[in-house]
Structure 1
């Protein structure tokens, strides 16, 4: 099985040959971030850590795109959204809201939570199941909604 970093490197070479400047710069940015984390930790970044790093990159770009949108900079917004598209191509398929709600309901039943006060127990039970397939803030919001219904 080809590792995440190797796959990105292969795609970087393909982007160079295709002269795809936008994809090339984003792939370089991903590799730079992975190398930075390796030097910071002193260890090789495994695929799971690479996924977490890329999820963080997507989150930062979403925030930046929102800020640029509010600031009236559609050019920079488009650039951030294009980077998000490239980064997301390496992330696992995101759960739909319905599938996420179902997993959360199962976690609530499993943990026996009765109210919002026990949200932490539900999150602890739920997050390993959705790891990499859903954003923590959206999971938290849905858990809160589901617990308030009870």
Structure 2
């Protein structure tokens, strides 16, 4: 995984320069897409994004790529799916290390216990506690489905 000590935005900008110098067109294009999405959010909300907020932008971009890949493959457009896969691979290098199934289960179980959730009506409380620990490290829709099954 990429070093994140200097800040994710600075890392993205230095990686963009390196990709430009080395002629990595696909990597350069994807990093520019990431930086454009970050800049758009900063302009829209009139704030400077911190690393956690940038991870949320990256997570959203990764989710969009996964959905596009599924749709392209269903339509038999493997050429377009391959482009999305390449972008997804680059985006994932900037996301935190993915959690294992066991780690996700442990976080969700701890959130259920901490919130005192008794049924499906408490799902919001559980997800509010779990989301900061899971964001960018697992598929949030799968995590919420798992919480739903644990609470029902």
- Normalised by the size of structure 2, how large is the TM-score? 0.89
| Unaligned stretches of 5+ residues in structure 2 | none
Q: Which of 113, 116, 120 is the matching residue for 2:124?
A: 120
Query: Are residues 76 and 125 of structure 1, via their aligned partners in 2, closer, same or farther at CA, if it must alter by over 3 Å?
Result: same
2:30 pairs with 1:26: yes
Shift of 1:41: 2.0
RCO comparison, higher one (Cα < 8 Å, 6+): 2
Query: Are residues 111 and 36 of structure 1, via their aligned partners in 2, closer, same or farther at CA, if it must alter by over 3 Å?
Result: closer
- C-alpha distance in structure 2 between counterparts of 1:45 and 1:124, whole Å: 20
SS at match of 1:94: coil
- Which residue of 2 is the match for residue 4 of structure 1? 8
- Which residue of 2 is the match for residue 147 of structure 1? 151
**Count of aligned positions:** 148
Moved more, 73-82 or 43-52: 43-52
- Which residue of 2 is the match for residue 35 of structure 1? 39
**Displaced runs of 4+ in structure 1, greater than 4 A?**
none
Shift of 1:118: 2.1
- Which residue of 1 is the match for residue 63 of structure 2? 59
- Normalised by the size of structure 1, how large is the TM-score? 0.90
| Unaligned stretches of 5+ residues in structure 1 | none
Q: Which of 45, 49, 52 is the matching residue for 1:45?
A: 49
- C-alpha distance in structure 2 between counterparts of 1:80 and 1:60, whole Å: 9
- Which residue of 1 is the match for residue 77 of structure 2? 73
1:95-149: CA deviation from partner (whole Å, max 9, x where unpaired):
111111111112222222222232222222222332332232111011112223x
- Which residue of 1 is the match for residue 142 of structure 2? 138
Aligned residues of 2:58 and 2:136 also touching (Cα < 8 A): no
